[in-house]
């Protein structure tokens, strides 16, 4: 008699509606969009450290930054380019000749040329017409192609722009030589079903060969929308380690990769067992703590305290874990506290070869629960207060700013 599976897998039921590209090319934005997260700054040396691990993990394209931003940023991009990594190094530029020149001088082999597309951006930020945006885009693409760069063309706020303009703009830049087309959900307003419709319509109108998506997480949908894009054949997802990025961040590298591997059975070629190491490095260098409950790399992702859960996991890990922690370089933890059950204590005692009688075990359980409930929260509250002070107002303080105003020789009338 054939043994029934321990868990049912319904992903196969929708397999016919999916069209994954082969291969999927990962484009990491940690050093560019990730650094734009308020309060984050990477030195050239730190960018090289992160880029080195990203490349070793198997990420194929790394956006090193925007060279025109500052001399320090230009030096950082050059340092990443000069590190001799396997990954392709990309740098970003607006549709401005000087920006493109800065990328050319950096030595990067790939460029992302970006411009806004929605009416709100054109009218209030760029103060340009659609025709002006089109002409600037064509000029920048041609400038980069003449320099021998691989060109990705990006529009900000693609999914809130008039579709006729999107079609005209992307078709034109593709004809001018753009190698990769990037669709952006800049303020994270797409839902998976709507994004599927949008991307299928984009493909019908524009006929991209190599295309990409850049999804923000304002509504917590960046990873879901990125996976939806991959389901319809998008070749190159934009990701950030730990989901860093503007405002609420971007699609998380580790979540997209492991979802593809574990849920869809797609072999990404990335070394998933090093994802936790990469996450900890970016946490350290960026100074942005990883949430304790963040998927896969959060400190509690493979931790169990509740008695029912620990008993189940000890009996078989599939009861309360969808994958083995070693897949992402983690280890399982049994936390002792208020919700602990006997099974966890038995397992803990085994670490030192200790066995005991049931009455003594119950007495130990009582003490553990009371100890968990009695733990004060003073240290945690102090940490949270300091954390809020640091992250509610990152960057320069008002006092530092006004001191700089005075140092710059700007006279301020007393209020």
Q: What are the residue ranges of CATH 3.20.20.70 in the chain?
A: 19-286
Average pLDDT over residues 270-277: 98
**CATH class of the region 19-286:** alpha beta
Is 90 exceeded by the pLDDT of residue 371? no
> 241: closest CA among 215, 216, 278?
278
- Which helix or strand (DSSP H or E) is residue 92 part of? strand 88-94
Q: How many residues does the chain have?
A: 415
How many whole angstroms separate alpha carbon 337 and alpha carbon 307? 10
How confident is the model over 217-221, as a mean pLDDT?
A: 98
pTM: 0.93
Mean pLDDT of 85-107: 98
Instruction: Give the Cα separation of 327 and 266 in Å (integer).
Output: 14
Distance, CA of 281 to CA of 265 (rounded, Å)? 27
> What's the confidence (pLDDT) of residue 1?
64
**Cis preceding linkage at 23, omega within 30:** yes
Which two tokens mark 82? 């000069």
Cα(174)–Cα(180) distance, integer angstroms: 8
Q: Which residues are 231's β-sheet partners?
A: none
pLDDT digits (tens, 9 = 90+) for 305-361: 888 888 889 899 999 999 999 999 999 998 888 888 888 898 889 989 999 999 999
How far apart are alpha carbons 174 and 138 in whole angstroms? 9
Distances (CA, A) of 221 to 185, 187, 286: 10, 11, 23
pLDDT above 90: residue 374: no
């Amino acid at each position: 008699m054939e043994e029934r599976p321990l868990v049912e897998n319904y992903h196969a039921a929708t397999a016919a509606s999916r069209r994954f590209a082969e291969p999927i090319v990962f484009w990491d934005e940690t050093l560019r969009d990730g650094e734009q997260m308020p309060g984050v700054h990477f030195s050239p040396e730190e960018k090289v450290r992160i880029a080195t691990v990203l490349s070793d993990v198997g990420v194929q394209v790394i956006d090193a930054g925007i060279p025109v931003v500052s001399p320090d940023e230009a030096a950082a991009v050059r340092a990443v380019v000069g590190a001799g990594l396997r990954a392709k190094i990309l740098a970003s530029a607006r549709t401005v000749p000087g920006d493109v020149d800065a990328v050319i001088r950096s030595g990067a082999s790939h460029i992302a040329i970006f411009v806004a597309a929605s009416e709100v951006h054109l009218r209030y930020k760029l103060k340009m017409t659609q025709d002006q945006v089109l002409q600037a885009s064509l000029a920048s693409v041609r400038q980069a192609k003449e320099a021998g760069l691989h060109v990705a063309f990006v529009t900000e706020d693609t999914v809130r722009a008039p579709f006729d303009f999107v079609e005209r703009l992307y078709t034109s830049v593709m004809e001018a030589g753009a190698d990769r087309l990037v669709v952006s959900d800049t303020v994270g307003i797409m839902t998976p079903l709507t994004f599927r419709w949008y991307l299928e319509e984009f493909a019908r109108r524009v006929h991209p060969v190599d295309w990409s998506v850049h999804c923000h997480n304002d509504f917590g949908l960046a990873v879901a929308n990125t996976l939806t894009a991959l389901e319809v054949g998008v070749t190159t997802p934009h990701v950030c380690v730990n989901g860093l990025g503007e405002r609420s961040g971007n699609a998380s590298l580790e979540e997209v990769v492991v979802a593809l591997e574990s849920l869809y059975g797609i072999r990404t070629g990335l070394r998933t067992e090093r994802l936790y190491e990469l996450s900890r490095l970016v946490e350290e260098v960026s100074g942005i703590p990883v949430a304790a409950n963040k998927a896969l790399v959060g400190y509690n992702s493979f931790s169990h305290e509740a008695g029912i859960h620990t008993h189940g996991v000890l009996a078989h890990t599939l009861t309360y874990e969808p994958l083995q922690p070693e897949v992402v370089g983690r280890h399982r933890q049994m936390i002792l506290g208020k919700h602990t059950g006997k099974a966890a204590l038995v397992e803990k005692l085994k670490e030192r070869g200790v066995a005991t009688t049931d009455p003594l075990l119950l007495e130990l359980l009582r003490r553990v629960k009371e100890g968990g409930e009695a733990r004060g929260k003073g240290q945690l509250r102090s940490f949270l207060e300091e954390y809020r002070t640091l992250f509610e107002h990152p960057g320069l303080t008002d006092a530092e700013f006004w001191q700089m105003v005075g140092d710059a020789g700007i006279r301020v009338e007393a209020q």
